[in-house]
Structure 1
Amino acid sequence: MAAAISVSLLLVAIISGSCPSFTSAKPPAPPVFCDDSGCVVSNAYGVWADRQQCRTGLAVFPTTEEELRAAVAEAHRKRFKAKAVSGFSHTIPKLACPPPENSVVISTAKYNSRIEVDVANRRVTADAGVGLRDLIDKVEAAGLSLLAAPYWEGVSIGGLISTGSHGSSWWGRGGAVHDHVESLTLVVPAPAEEGHAKVVTLRRGDPLFNAASVSLGLLGIISQVTLSLEPSFKRSITYSFQNDSSFEDQFMDHARKHEFADITWFPSQHQAAFRLDDRVPLNTSGDGFNDFIGFQSTLMAVSMAVRATEKAFDESRNAKGKCATAATVLAFKKLMANGLKNNNLLFTGYPVTGRHGRMQTSGSCQHSPVSDGLSSCPWDPRIKGLLFYETTAFFSPQSFRSFILDVKRLRDMNPDNFCGVDNYNGFMIRFVKRSESLLGQPEDSVVVDFNYYRASDPSIPRLNQDLWEEVEQMAFVKYGARPHWAKNRNVAFLGVQGKYPGFKRFLAAMKELDPEGVFQSPWSDEVINEKEAVKSDGCALEGQCICSEDRHCSPSKGYLCQNGLVYEEARVCRFANVSMV
């Protein structure tokens, strides 16, 4: 999950005099719920991209590799479809959702006991269900560090490897975790004489390794992963806030100078925050840590109030209201260093220096053992908190510069229209190195994440509906950006097969390891096997299609399918009575 949650909710808490309480936080709900009628699989946000519930008849919870193999064997023997789901389920597309009939979900939530650190060879082997934070803490205690990690730590090792999760770095092997995998084991279907399922070990250099290292759960179920490590080190981080007038000409130099560089762009505020982030020797003074503001526990009442305010602004078309909070949000980020702390309590000044394992990733809202507290993660679906879309696109450096210039042209028509995204985390810009993985990045890439308001009712168009559709189509259509596999609305995956040179080889690996399609699903049929969904009334509002007729928008509410303003070939749902200027 991207570091892209609104900090407005913390401002409300501070103003009201009630600060978030970590010790009384409600942990996230498990993603699988079963009763006599079957099982429902959810993601962490409580809503899938298509808003449709994911149902299956059966869920199993293996605790060992043999139990995992037996679960796949039973599904194969019965000719059921099977899907793996972690104990976290931080995925927006339905990667973990099988067909509703004759299917089983295999959860790795209880398959999480093994974390073995090989200090001599600087490697760690973990069960697929192990949480990222548990692995990092075990590795750091052994005097070693896992170099790459996503910014959100609430993911399993198997899940983050399967989906191409990443941090930010063009140095060394780069910021994608799968590029630090040395070997992995998969449980795959097998003939009856082999017990209907078997465990396959793949090592770096093996013919199928580059297919399996980012597999989307389509080759089998990851059982164990071995990752390379480095000797422990510290990181020193400083945020430099600058005018955004020329940052599109600075990003490459920034990424080359700083090992863990990133940039956060706040377009409505004309600001860019450059993260100066480098390793320093372990004996450097400082015991700081990264407790990203948006991932801290937040009073449930505050999260609900922030959502209600955002909803009121959106439905009343009050862009100025969103801009007032956007300016305050940016000021607060500067004041609080976006959650960096020089000690366990406070930010006292730059640079913030701390052990790599405490600086690389965060997610404190999920860790409290107390289940009846007053606080939670701010997007927890049980409290009607934040609800948002997340778009994530990988660009070549050359096309990224052109993309930013186009977005600036769109922004400059009316900067107020971009305040909504700045109430979250603006445009988060990171760097991912070229990968040998067939579904990894085929070139050194710049990845952009941005979050924006999602209506509670799918039939209600959003404020600036057309603008975000145009930005989305600029990225994926005009500039051919590649989507993050575990994020994005469905339109981001249109034509994705032609964006990866190794895609045909990945399809061949699917045929070899899962010839009967045990791990196929409606989502993979649409995205991987190019079975285009039928366009329906209102399908563009939720990113299920690109509009080609007015009925794909909401003509009854005044939203018609029209051309883009900067990217004129785009087709977007625009409120017919509103001008950008």
Structure 2
Amino acid sequence: MVKLLWVLPLALLWGLKAWSAPAKVLYLTDYSNGYHDYQAQGKATELLLEQQLDSDVSIVGRSYEELTKFLGKENFGEGYDLIVYNACLADTREYVWAENIIRQTRDLGVPMILLHCAMHNFRGTSSDLGFFGRRKLDADRKAWENEQAGKEFPIWWRFSGVDSTSHSLFQKKLPTRIETDHPIVANVPEGWVAPKDELYYNITRTDDVIPLLSTDDGKELLAWLHPVGKSMVFATTLGHKLETYENTVFQDLLGRAARFLTNRLDDQESANRLFYNYSSSIRCNPSDVITASTIAEVQDAVRLAVARDRALKVVSIDNPNSYSEVLCPEKGGIVINVAPMNKLLNVDAVNKMVTVQPGITIDQLGRELEAYKLIFPTTADYSGITVAGGMGTGAHHSSLKRHAGIHDYVEKLTIVDGTGSIRILEGAEAREAAVHLGYLGAIVEVVLKVEDMFKLRYGYKAGSDRDLEQLIEQEVRSHDYARVSWFVGVGRYIVDYYDQVPVEEAGESYHNLWETSAGPTSIFGSLPYDALNRLPQIVQCGAAGVRANAWAAPIKAVNSSGREPVGFAHRMLGSTCAKGRCPWDFGAVSRTQELAIPIAELQNWMQDVRGIIAARKACFPVLGVYMRFAKASDSWLSSSHGADSMMFEIHIPKETDPNRYEQGTEVYDEIVQMTYQKYQGRPHWAKNSTPIFKDTLVRYGRAADFVDLKNELDPMGRFENEFWNVIASDSALKKPYPGCNLSRDCICQSDADCGTGYQCAPGAFFDEAKVCVKK
């Protein structure tokens, strides 16, 4: 084993701790390659890097065209901390691509990881060519000198460090030998046998290659470092099959290489944990998840974060019910999970007040209050959300007779602030701060206003949407709770509603939407959603028509009429589903977009939506344009702050293929952007993709007061995250990359943002929108 004293200057350049901000990683690949499962490898590498590096990964190469067009850009790596290259341009003679790849490391100083077949790129520049190969290389070199005067002809193996053009015929397990005591291979066991893989034969290597790992006979290098210009390359010939990426030793090797190249190896000797929301659509990358069962334990966790200078975020359920990145700490931060704090602590039946811990769900609260003949009078449709989480993101039902938001019933908040101290807000001050987004500290107790128990009768009406603009507000105001599913693509609507009835009226009916919808998905999984996205549009419109004309009430009638079932309010307004038995557990995942506008703008907004549908049809097959309503709220960051409001939601059947758009996406995006720009729409904090939140905070009249309170309770910004930077400005939006709109990381500005086969175009009706459409 070679000692590292002779490479100490390199270690000083690349191996020491320099910063702990998330690394921006560019991952280059080619999903269309038939010899490697690059899509699965890309996903595995993205997860690995986010877990072990604290990184934001941008993937380019969902098609050959997307990759090669990107490689044609001279400075494509500018602004990135690391490039990972996992593609196989073996026999191409487009040497501008080779030069541009090399340039990123040599001239711009961006370190690079080369994986497996990357070593066989541009094989026509090998040092071991036959007669005809040498003739081609000479001709190519002369053509280059004529066209690229003054630029050295790019020899690929001199960049990678090792010349290789062939591999073993059969894949086999590879016993290895460690060549050095470099920290990248510190955790590779002596005699480690790599998973079955192709063995790449070495022809020669440059003099400055730093061997890390070889075959047990020392003949073939398997991993090495190679200084190139202003930075360095880490290369490994391992990685033909996904099995290698799933091997824990290889994961550690790759993670350590990434941290070494980006000066982070000392920051994080243990890997981050991956932390997901309930449907696995949002992934966070904390360094630790600390479970707290008491207020004292929450205080200890905050003080630990202060001592370690780590960012913080608090969740009140194991897998939070949020579609947005509001729930994630800064990468490498700490998550405090207060899910065990889920008790009903006190009931003041005289003053109609209850004290609860943050992790109690709305469903659990309702059931426990039954013994006291009390009720908490609102919930989201899914009542498995917690009090602290639902309140903190503005979760709501739908009513213009009573307050619809959980936050509107808050009387007192007990908070552990950013220093670990206890702070208390009461009365109007508590309600104003109730939509807290997790930025005020850790909510550890909440006092809520409750009511005497009552029952609700459910009903619905359907009809043509011809005059809906004139009817809708009056219809909603005439019921205690009411929602509208507007199937604008097929000209129909449904109003379903609840009216209060005496508690003595017969009926024990209950909401069962999540229970019944899980049945088909447990059998068919994502197949129905895939069909809606991939079959002709007439299928979506047919599904919307069936939904609008044969409405299935989300209620199980018990001891009451099936047409107008009656039940206790807390059981009628929402429901939950057992973990592992929910629709999303079987692959049926929706992508949701929700924005709010004042009701005063509703008629004009509906006319604009009709204009969009007239210009480019879509049918909204799940719930139509799902419209809910809320009285004006005193909570500073409530979507209905200051005005009675309509919140519309589009449930989009999520496409399982990451290279495809959901059918109707261009229409949905135009509606959302029109609402945001023309009507100053307020996006729901726990839904929507990140780019739509840019500068959102200024849309709230009391935002400055919220910021002042946040700065008072968390003066060091311990609870801030990237999402905060987006809503307060645009500083945390990802740099655009090819296909970023497809990944919901950007609103397109150029055709490249849309991915292969699509172009960025103005909205068909609202010109200021930018949407991706087929070429």
The verdict on a shared fold, with TM-score over 0.5 as the criterion, is: yes
TM-score, normalised to structure 1's length? 0.82
Assess, with a 3 A threshold, how the Cα gap between structure 1 residues 551 and 414 changes in structure 2: closer, same or farther: closer
CA contact (8 A) 2:375 2:452 kept: yes
**In 1, Cα distance between equivalents of 2:273 and 2:593:** 29
CA contact (8 A) 2:484 2:493 kept: yes
CA contact (8 A) 1:189 1:198 kept: yes
Corresponding position of 2:566:
353
**In 2, Cα distance between equivalents of 1:205 and 1:222:** 17
2:608 maps to which of 403, 406, 414: 406
**In 2, Cα distance between equivalents of 1:469 and 1:271:** 21
Residue-pair matches, total: 505
Give matches, 1:243-254, under 5 Å.
243-254=464-475
Corresponding position of 1:177:
406
Measured after TM superposition, the shift of residue 310 of structure 1 is 3.1
TM-score, normalised to structure 2's length? 0.62
Assess, with a 3 A threshold, how the Cα gap between structure 1 residues 150 and 501 changes in structure 2: closer, same or farther: same
Corresponding position of 1:478:
678
Measured after TM superposition, the shift of residue 402 of structure 1 is 1.6
Assess, with a 3 A threshold, how the Cα gap between structure 1 residues 303 and 105 changes in structure 2: closer, same or farther: farther
Assess, with a 3 A threshold, how the Cα gap between structure 1 residues 240 and 435 changes in structure 2: closer, same or farther: same
Give matches, 1:114-513, under 5 Å.
114-172=344-402, 174-190=403-419, 197-206=420-429, 209-292=430-513, 296-298=517-519, 300-304=521-525, 307-315=526-534, 318-332=536-550, 334=551, 336=552, 338-343=553-558, 348-363=561-576, 365-366=577-578, 376-380=581-585, 383=586, 385-413=587-615, 415=617, 417-418=618-619, 421-422=620-621, 424-440=622-638, 441-513=641-713
CA contact (8 A) 1:62 1:107 kept: yes
Measured after TM superposition, the shift of residue 216 of structure 1 is 0.2
Please tell me whether residue 97 in structure 1 is matched to residue 296 in structure 2. Answer: no
**In 1, Cα distance between equivalents of 2:606 and 2:706:** 32
Measured after TM superposition, the shift of residue 301 of structure 1 is 4.2
Q: For structure 2, which runs of at least 5 residues remain unmatched after alignment?
A: 1-50, 53-247, 249-269
For residues 191-213 of structure 1, the C-alpha deviation after alignment (integer angstroms, 9 at most, x for no partner) is: xxxxxx1111110134xx35531
CA contact (8 A) 2:616 2:667 kept: no
For residues 124-168 of structure 1, the C-alpha deviation after alignment (integer angstroms, 9 at most, x for no partner) is: 111001111111111122111111221111111110111111111
Tell me the SS of whatever aligns to 1:77: helix
**In 1, Cα distance between equivalents of 2:616 and 2:441:** 48
CA contact (8 A) 1:146 1:230 kept: yes
Assess, with a 3 A threshold, how the Cα gap between structure 1 residues 388 and 220 changes in structure 2: closer, same or farther: same
Assess, with a 3 A threshold, how the Cα gap between structure 1 residues 100 and 490 changes in structure 2: closer, same or farther: closer
Greater C-alpha radius of gyration? 2
Assess, with a 3 A threshold, how the Cα gap between structure 1 residues 84 and 121 changes in structure 2: closer, same or farther: same
**In 1, Cα distance between equivalents of 2:355 and 2:522:** 41
Corresponding position of 2:310:
80
Letter of the 2:761 counterpart: Q
For residues 473-500 of structure 1, the C-alpha deviation after alignment (integer angstroms, 9 at most, x for no partner) is: 1111122111111111123212312210
Corresponding position of 1:579:
none
CA RMSD between the two structures: 2.2
Assess, with a 3 A threshold, how the Cα gap between structure 1 residues 506 and 409 changes in structure 2: closer, same or farther: same
Assess, with a 3 A threshold, how the Cα gap between structure 1 residues 569 and 299 changes in structure 2: closer, same or farther: closer
2:272 maps to which of 28, 38, 47: 38
**In 1, Cα distance between equivalents of 2:416 and 2:388:** 12
**In 2, Cα distance between equivalents of 1:183 and 1:499:** 26
Assess, with a 3 A threshold, how the Cα gap between structure 1 residues 201 and 85 changes in structure 2: closer, same or farther: same
CA contact (8 A) 2:462 2:548 kept: no
Assess, with a 3 A threshold, how the Cα gap between structure 1 residues 303 and 512 changes in structure 2: closer, same or farther: farther
Structure 1 runs (4+) greater than 4 angstroms displaced: 33-36, 293-296
For residues 389-414 of structure 1, the C-alpha deviation after alignment (integer angstroms, 9 at most, x for no partner) is: 10111111132222211222232346
Tell me the SS of whatever aligns to 2:324: coil
Which one is further off, 212-221 or 251-260? 251-260
CA contact (8 A) 2:615 2:764 kept: no
Letter of the 2:427 counterpart: R
